[in-house]
Amino acid sequence: MTTLAFPSDLFPAKPQVSLAVPSDWRPVATVTTDIAAIAPEVDGFRPNVIVVVNRRPSGMVVGVALDEIAAESQLRPQGSVSEPFEVDLNGRAWSGCDLEWEDPRAGRLVQLHLFTVIDAPVDGALPFLVQVTGSCLSAREAQDIPKLREVMSSVVVTPWTAS
């Protein structure tokens, strides 16, 4: 008989992720995000930053996630996606793109996306994709995007390791 355990090298726990948010933002617990924080409401919308960490198939690369965002843009009214870019944040390489679309309730929205892959500690274990997304109204992007970028740039990811 073999004992399997979680977390373990074969079944690792999600990596730890942290963000620094302004003092007037508040955390929001949701069933679909690992971290979510919202800014005070302006013009009927709360700019926000979320973090989602998901297991992905072996061989996952960030290009797959960027392709998924590009495909999503085609499904959204007047959707468009920027050219991908790369950035180093706190010692980790991230790839990103920006998505815009027309939301029937809120108006034109802008989302900033960053992705990084956390490789599995052993062969056979699955990697994690970490996604950080900031959202705001297009009409307020001059005011809100610098703050979203500041929050998103504070992201620190620490892979799980066996103790």
Say how far residue 6 (Cα) sits from the centre of its chain: 24
Q: Are 97 and 89 in contact (CB under 8 A)?
A: no
Instruction: Write down the residue that tokens 């504070």 correspond to.
Output: 154
| Confidence tier at 130 by pLDDT (50, 70, 90) | very high
C-alpha 94/C-alpha 88 separation (Å) is 6
Say how far residue 23 (Cα) sits from the centre of its chain: 21
Q: Could you tell me what percent of the chain has a pLDDT over 70?
A: 99
pLDDT(120) > 90: no
| Confidence tier at 53 by pLDDT (50, 70, 90) | very high
The DSSP code sequence of 78-97 is T-EEPPPEEEEETTEEEEEE
Q: How many helices (H) and strands (E) does the chain have?
A: 2, 10
Residues 16-45 pLDDT 10s: 999 999 999 999 999 999 999 999 999 899
Q: What top-level class would CATH report for the domain 21-157?
A: alpha beta
| Confidence tier at 163 by pLDDT (50, 70, 90) | low
Reference 55, options 133, 154, 124; nearest CA is 124
pLDDT(162) > 80: no
Q: Specify the higher pLDDT residue, 121 or 152.
A: 152
pLDDT(62) > 90: yes
C-alpha 32/C-alpha 39 separation (Å) is 19
Reference 38, options 53, 55, 26; nearest CA is 26
